[in-house]
Amino acid sequence: MKAKIIITPKKAVLDPQGKTVQNALAHLGYTDVTAVHVGKYIEIELASNTDPQRAREALDEACYKFLSNPIIEDYHLEIVP
Amino acid sequence: MSIFRFAVIQFPASNCDQDAVHAIRVLGHSADYVWHKEASLGNVDAVIIPGGFSYGDYLRTGAIARFSPVMQAVRRFAEDGGLVLGICNGFQILCEAGMLPGALIRNRSLQFRCEHVFLKTVTRDSPFTRSIPEGRLLKIPVAHGEGCYYADEPTLKRLASNGQILWKYCDASGQITDSANPNGSLLNIAGICSEARNVAGMMPHPERACESILGSEDGRMVFESMIDTLRLARTGAAA
């Protein structure tokens, strides 16, 4: 069992990395791109007998407390078999 | 003259710890390292969380350092009213720990900025600014890639109305302009203090500006403010 966590900068927060990647894409000819947001991906491996609901609750807390900073970031958590 | 004892916290990959200890000793006071695994600070009068790249800046700057044992001791020290100054990575750690509001993100330019900047002291009503003469600009170096101060609108309003903004980036004439802002910090914020005013964080490095051979002695005024605060507290208690 795995947890997949995607962390992205909040829309209101300046994202110079996303902006720079967007500019580079425009230089390469990808002119239809209207915005780029660069975040991070975390994959966590869990023991196969883990209860998915409990894993979700525990990792949701970990995402809020540690893996993301809620002042500047949003996260999406997914538990997959 | 009273000698005050400063604790300088050392994390793996702190790299301004020696500069901080040196600066305090140059000012005639005592400074000792406290390793991040220590659960106690010992008998100290003030704490400095120095700059660097604690825990390799993994995950986010300061994100892992905040959970180290010594930070629980620093939190208790601050809750008891002790003076805590976070410099650069120390500021990032204090924000991650929730001891100061807001967060520090990647510089607007994406560049690591390493240069002298000018700071305007916004209020002298704090233990970190009290001895800075009125109207005196500070010339102090910055050296960071992630020093862009961010907080949401209500937090910024609260910081301003409580007088928690201590320093802003300005030009050589004291004007707070966008071009004087090295990292894109909102409101040109270079340093803030907590609501109780005894915890402060700043991105510039006062410990690198305490001797004329280094090009500026302006950083002394930040530490002297802390020392004057401690002295007043001691003489007040004795009276």
The pLDDT tens digits for B130-169 are 999 999 999 999 999 999 999 999 999 999 999 999 999 9
Contact B128, B167 (CB under 8 A): no
Contact B118, B141 (CB under 8 A): no
For helices B17-26 and B220-238, the axis angle rounded to 10 degrees is 60
Q: Percent of chain B scored above 90 by pLDDT? A: 96
CATH top class, domain B5-238: alpha beta
Q: What is the ipTM of this complex?
A: 0.88
Amino acid at B44: V
Q: Which residues of B touch A9 (CB under 8 A)?
A: 105
Q: Over the stretch A13-64, which tens digit does the pLDDT of each residue have?
A: 989 999 999 999 999 999 899 999 999 999 999 999 999 999 999 999 999 9
Q: In this predicted structure, what is the pLDDT of residue B89?
A: 97
Rg value, chain A, Cα: 16
Element (H, E) at B229: helix B220-238
Contact B82, B52 (CB under 8 A): no
Q: In this predicted structure, what is the pLDDT of residue A12?
A: 86
In chain B, where the domains are located:
5-238
Which residues lie closer than 8 Å to B42 by C-beta, 6 or more apart? B7, B32, B34
Q: Is B170 a catalytic residue?
A: no
Q: In this predicted structure, what is the pLDDT of residue B236?
A: 78
Q: Which positions in chain A have a beta carbon within 8 angstroms of at least one beta carbon in chain B?
A: 9, 12-14, 16-17, 20, 66-67, 69, 71-72
CA distance B168 to B195: 18
Domains and CATH numbers, chain A: 2-80 (3.30.1280.10)
Contact B64, B54 (CB under 8 A): yes
Nearest to A13 among B107, B109, B150 (CB): B150
Q: What is the mean pLDDT of each run of 10 residues along chain B (239 residues)?
A: 94 96 98 97 97 93 94 98 98 98 96 96 98 97 97 97 98 98 98 98 98 96 98 80
- Please indicate whether, in this complex, the C-beta atoms of B67 and A66 are within 8 angstroms of each other: yes
Q: Over the stretch A14-26, which tens digit does the pLDDT of each residue have?
A: 899 999 999 999 9
* Catalytically annotated residue among B16, B29, B88, B170: B88
Q: In this predicted structure, what is the pLDDT of residue A14?
A: 86
Q: In this predicted structure, what is the pLDDT of residue B238?
A: 59
Amino acid at B198: N
